[in-house]
Each structure stands twice: as structure tokens, then as C-alpha cells.
Structure 1
């Protein structure tokens, strides 16, 4: 990914090191992408970010889509740190925290819109 020079410890980097594991990262990205109508098939992280930032959509949803990669990566990073410090975090908790972060961004950007806390509902509302 240009700008990060491959420094972000992602599924892509782990795969290069021949480390295979059930990825919360992939599952989380897939959840958000599927609801937004974005196909992840065959895309690496840098390609996914470009797709999120350039996907044609409504004006209101467009600025939220551009924020999604940062929010997902931030929550994955926090989850990784929690696991490294022996704090248990499962996929459901990670998903909940990420959806809450997205909801907060939507509320700051559009405080007058009554938005649900679930990602599917946010996409439908905006």
C-alpha cells in the first residue's frame, strides 16, 4: 500500500510470511464491504482502500465510505493490542466496536439524521 510501505501488519503481510490463520481482519472487512456492495474477491488491502474511496454512491455516504478503511484498521489495531496484552476479544466484539465508531462519525457529520448503530442500517439510511 503506497504511503505505508507495507508496514501495516495485515493478512497480506502475514500471508507473505507463510503464516495462515483465521482472520478477524478479513471477516471484518468482508462484513463492511458486503453491506456496501463491494466485492473483496482477489483484492489486497491497498486495492480495497482505493475501492472504498472511489465507489460511486450518495454524497452523504461517500464521505463515510472514505472513512471506513481508517476506522476498520484502527479497530483491528486496538483488537490486536488487546490480544497481545492477554485481553480476550472476539469477532462479535470487534464488529460491535467498529460499528459504534462508524456510528459516531456519522453522528458528528450528520447530527440531524437519526441513524441506526448497525452498519446495514447506516448504509440504508444514508
Structure 2
């Protein structure tokens, strides 16, 4: 294949990209932390956007030139990251996108929070990208609307991941506190077997 015709947006240069070959492309990363992107319960479009961003497969020149600025360093994006990070006890600095994502993935936290921490960056990035597209088409999305949208997605994920848990808080800070203090209620039943008396025979 001529080098100028190479499909740069793919993992490989053969041009092979079908449903049957999709797993073959992804499995190359199976032992990598990037597999956190493909979390169960996360909408495919969110995971796919995360994968494209991680691999810088977004075919928009100005974004590629100012990648970290769009998703991390601009004032509004940074405010959203800090809102969720402060409630989760995650410390900055928030400078590079991949570094911030990995901080969330590797954060020490309660067991139930671990799965939420892995998907939170994906939901944040998805809303930042959505807001960017709205602005480019003459609309807008406030920081408050972004936070509410991300929180709704986290609540939905929470209910999908832990359907047996009731009383889900409706804000991120309360959700973090709830899961930090959560202790499963374990019920036990004692069964005692007694030998039958001789009169029973």
C-alpha cells in the first residue's frame, strides 16, 4: 500500500475494519490499562469516544493541536474536573489529559467507588466534547448543566452496577460519601439438626 493512502485513523494499515475484526484490533490492548475504557455498563458511544481521544483518533486539526487545552486546561473544563475530583479526594495538578485519567483509574478508594472512578473521566470528557460541538454550532452548555449531566450518567451507572442498593444520592459529593460509608448488610440463618428420637421408628 502506498504510504500516503495509509488509514492513519486505524490501529493497523491494512484497511481491515469490520465487525469481525474489531475485537482483533482491541485485543492488542488487552493487557494495558486502556482496557478500563471498555467498562461494562458504559454506553458504547462514550467508550468509543474515550478510545478515539486516548489514541488521538479525532480527525480535527485544531483539537489535535490543543488537545490538553480543550479537555483540561481551559477554565470551564478545569472547573468541571475539579468539582468531581475534590469531592472524590483526588489531587491535581490537572495538566495533561492522559495523566488525569490515569490518576482516576489508580486512585485508592472504597471498593464500590473503584468502578465509578474508572468511568467518571469518560463521562466528563464526553460532556466536554459535547459542549465543544454545541459551541461550534452556535449553542452552548453551562458548567452547571455539564455537572448535572455527568451526575445523571454516574447515577445511572451506579444503579446499573449495583441494582440491589437503594437510596442512591442525587449529587456526586453525597454519592462519594455514601459509598465510602457503605457496609453490606449480611444476614445469616442458623439451622440446627437434631437426631430423631427412637419413638419415631
Is residue 40 of structure 1 aligned with residue 86 of structure 2?
A: no
Number of residue-to-residue matches in the alignment: 120
Q: In 2, are the aligned partners of 1:6 and 1:13 still within 8 Å (CA)?
A: no
Q: In 1, are the aligned partners of 2:151 and 2:171 still within 8 Å (CA)?
A: yes
Q: 2 CA distance for matches of 1:42 and 1:55?
A: 14
TM-score between both structures, scaled by the size of structure 1: 0.82
Q: Paired residue for 1:18?
A: none
Is residue 115 of structure 1 aligned with residue 168 of structure 2?
A: yes
Is residue 70 of structure 1 aligned with residue 130 of structure 2?
A: no
Structure 2 CA distance for partners of 1:87 and 1:35, relative to 1, 3 Å: same
Structure 1 residues 31-66: Cα deviation after superposition (integer angstroms, max 9, x where no partner): 111111111225421111111001111111001100
Bigger Rg, structure 1 or 2: 2
In the alignment, structure 2 segments of 5+ residues that lack a partner are 1-52, 180-201
In the alignment, structure 1 segments of 5+ residues that lack a partner are 16-20
Structure 2 CA distance for partners of 1:33 and 1:82, relative to 1, 3 Å: same
Q: 2 CA distance for matches of 1:42 and 1:85?
A: 28
Structure 1 residues 49-107: Cα deviation after superposition (integer angstroms, max 9, x where no partner): 11100111111100110001111101111111122222221111111111111111111
Q: Paired residue for 2:55?
A: 4
Q: What is the aligned-residue RMSD (CA, Å)?
A: 2.6
Structure 2 CA distance for partners of 1:69 and 1:79, relative to 1, 3 Å: same
Higher RCO structure (Cα 8 Å, ≥6 apart): 1
Q: 2 CA distance for matches of 1:42 and 1:80?
A: 19
